[in-house]
Structure 1
Amino acid sequence: MYIRKISVLVGLAPLAMACGMSAAAAQTVLTVTHSSPADSHFGDAAVAFKDVLEGGTDGSVSVVIQRLDNEREALESVQLGSQECAIGSTGPLGNFVPETRVLDVPFLFNDYAHARGVLDGEIGQNLLAALSNYGLEGVAWLENGFRSLTTGSRLVESPEDLRGMKIRTMENPIHMQAWEAAGVLPTPMAFSELPSALQQGTVDGQENPIPVILSNNLDMMQQHLYLTRHVYSPGILVCNPDFVASLDDTQRAALTQAGAAAAAANRARVEKDETAGIETLRKRGIDVREVENRDAYREAMAGANAGFESEFGAETLQRIRNWSPE
């Protein structure tokens, strides 16, 4: 009797193990990276993405969130399939998908309603679809916000004061061309290198949206913040196309819903950080200056416009600038 019981248990053990292994194998693990702290606009997007995707698939897809500061590396990893998805800015995206560079043209959008309307409409959705030609699946447009300038000890009272200054930019040719036109020495570098560059004086300043400056404590390394709002900086959620194709219909539908949830959470956090963030930065000690004459910065960068019109077409740029709600 004793031997028989053992035999039965031993016989059941492989079956139990097989069932356990089968259940584990049935779960798909998705890694999504982003370039900001957990408590940030991208962090909120990642959490919303995880919650909706896992809930919409009854746990058959498990989402792992990781931080990766180098957004170019993240895009390369998604292309190669070594990670499934990534959340980040569009700064380096133009190096992979040239069509998206148009979104980085300075003073293209008037406000958030304008930018979101373009991205959520035909123009933005066509650009999102274009990613499929370059080994990426565009899931949803997110955002960083409007970019503003910060400097260390050097005070900037007009665009003329920027001449000869080294300003860290993203690895983005559109941003670099615009700053070059203004007489700046643009210094592209990965975001992960920025804090040490500011601390060591390798660069005189940098430009980023308020949510990025706030969540990464860049104000601790700078003395002045100028609300130039010269470029709207979109964000994006991308995935590997082969990974998306491997999902079943229910999982793909949940992925789309999760992308929409990520965008909503991201935009809500950007709005919160924009309204409260400037006052928080003031309280933390940085000198915040509203730029009354933004047209002066527009004119300073205007020397790059001919190149932008040549690359993207004057009609396309005008169509974006003239967008209005239907």
Structure 2
Amino acid sequence: MKTRSLLLAAAVMAALAGPASAQKVLKVGVGLSEDHPQGIAVKKFAELLSQKTGGKLTAKLYASGSLGNDVTMISSLRGGTQEMTVPDSSTLVSLVKDFGVINLPMVIQNEKEADALLDGPFGQKLLDKLPEKGLVGLGFWENGFRHVSNSRKPITKADDFAGLKIRVIQNPLFIDTFNTLGANAVPMPFTELYSAMEQKAVDGQENPLATILASKFYEVQKHTVLDKHIYSAWVLLLSKKTWDGFTPEEKKAVQEAGREATLFERKTIRAFSEQALAELKKQGMQVTELPAAEQARMKEKLQPVVAKFSKEFGEDTAKSMFAELEKVRGQK
């Protein structure tokens, strides 16, 4: 009787444990808040993944850097202790230097070019380099074109950057870009930026409009110029250790959900950026748009930077990107 009771209890426990253990929950860490388009798109990915696998696979968002920064989360993916993250493509340069070409200044001109480049053979070739580094890339998400804000003066021409102390990310390409424009590039962590601008330790910074608004930089900055100096992309990443544990059907579902979430994210962030522009103006920011002639002047000034870093990131990769962009422009 006792044995029968134990067997019955074990069977009940197994039945209860079965569905829970069958469901895999993928931890997805991001640096931005859960209500930012990045976080919203991760939730969309989770919803799509659950639908496509009948609930066997789902994803859980960990926002605002709660699992670490881009660098530490990528390391966690490679080690198999975290399943997914969506870092800036520039963060991957230390593993695959070719990813750096995406950030070459004044090269990608608009969203249509970015989509065609990153969704095409060129983008796939970059993603194909990740598995040997312990990562699987499911697609490129948009962070957006980066613009400059400052507290001192409106920027209406390429020469107006001269003398401004501009905070940049701690990356040689970004430092060289602004020093070449005549500004004084000041690399510092993003977490220190608001107070540095408030205390006038720096005059300004460069980021997409969504980040400028979400970070309330309008409280300490008066001017923004839409100069589109660098295009910034995120990469939807999965741990290869996690990927290798999926069945063929699960892999297909993950890829499909990733693709659909990518399209959703781009649509969402572009709408958000338009709203951000209107909101920044409403908050009192003076927004100027760099005229085409000054964009061309800026591009000309930055040619030495493009040449230097094309060599550093891989001349063949850079040439391949330029050729692909020319092809896209020829299709207009």
Give me the TM-score of the superposition, normalised by structure 1.
Answer: 0.90
Give 2:20's match in structure 1, choosing from 18, 24, 29: 24
Q: Answer yes or no: is 1:310 the counterpart of 2:311.
A: yes
Query: How many pairs does the alignment contain?
Result: 322
Q: In 1, Cα distance between the equivalents of 2:15 and 2:196?
A: 53
The equivalent of 1:299 in structure 2 is 300
Q: Per the alignment, in what secondary structure is the counterpart of residue 38 of structure 2?
A: helix
Instruction: Give distance in 2, aligned partners of 1:137 and 1:77.
Output: 13
One-letter identity of the residue aligned with 1:234: A
Amino acid at match of 2:55: G
Partners of 2:187 and 2:13 in 1: how far apart? 53
Give 1:233-272 correspondences, 5 Å limit. Answer: 233-272=232-271
Residue 281 of structure 1: aligned partner: 280
Indicate the residue corresponding to 2:137 in structure 1: 138
Q: In structure 2, what is the equivalent of residue 223 of structure 1?
A: 222
Give the letter aligned to residue 209 of structure 2: I
Distance change (3 Å), C-alpha of 1:273 and 1:241? same
For the residue of structure 2 that corresponds to 1:138, the secondary structure is strand
Report the equivalent of 1:39.
35
Q: Any conservation in 2 of the 1:85–1:237 contact (CA below 8 Å)? A: yes
Structure 2 distance, partners of 1:189, 1:72, is: 16
Distance 1:252 1:193 in 2: 40
Check if 1:65 corresponds to 2:56.
no
| Alpha-carbon spacing, 1:188–1:72, altered in 2? closer, same or farther (3 Å) | farther
**Structure 1 residues without counterparts, runs of 5 or longer:** none
291-300 vs 255-264, which deviates more? 291-300
Matched, 1:75 2:70: no
Amino acid at match of 2:261: A
> Judging changes above 3 Å, is the alpha-carbon distance between structure 1 residues 24 and 317 closer, same or farther for their aligned structure 2 residues?
closer
Identity of aligned residues (%): 28
Amino acid at match of 1:105: L
SS in 1 for 2:327: coil
SS of the counterpart of 1:65?
Answer: strand
Q: Distance in 1 between matches of 2:10 and 2:319?
A: 67
**Residues of 2 paired with 1:323 and 1:254: CA distance?**
32
The answer on whether the counterparts of 1:89 and 1:233 sit within 8 Å (CA) in structure 2 is yes
CA distance in 1, matches of 2:40, 2:259: 13
For residues 255-313 of structure 1, give each alpha carbon's deviation from its aligned partner in whole angstroms, at most 9, with x where no partner exists: 10111122111110122123332112100111111111222322332331331343332
Partners of 2:306 and 2:75 lie apart in 1 by 30
Q: Which amino acid aligns with 1:119?
A: L
Q: Which residue pairs with 2:126 in the alignment?
A: 127
RMSD after superposition: 2.3
Structure 1 stretch 48-57 or stretch 176-185: which is displaced more? 176-185
Name 2:166's counterpart in structure 1.
167
SS of 1:31 mapped into structure 2: strand
Q: Output one character per residue of 1:188-243: Cα deviation in whole Å (capped at 9) or x when no partner.
A: 33433333333343432111112222233332332111101111111210111011
Structure 1 letter corresponding to 2:80? G
* Local SS of the residue matching 2:81: coil
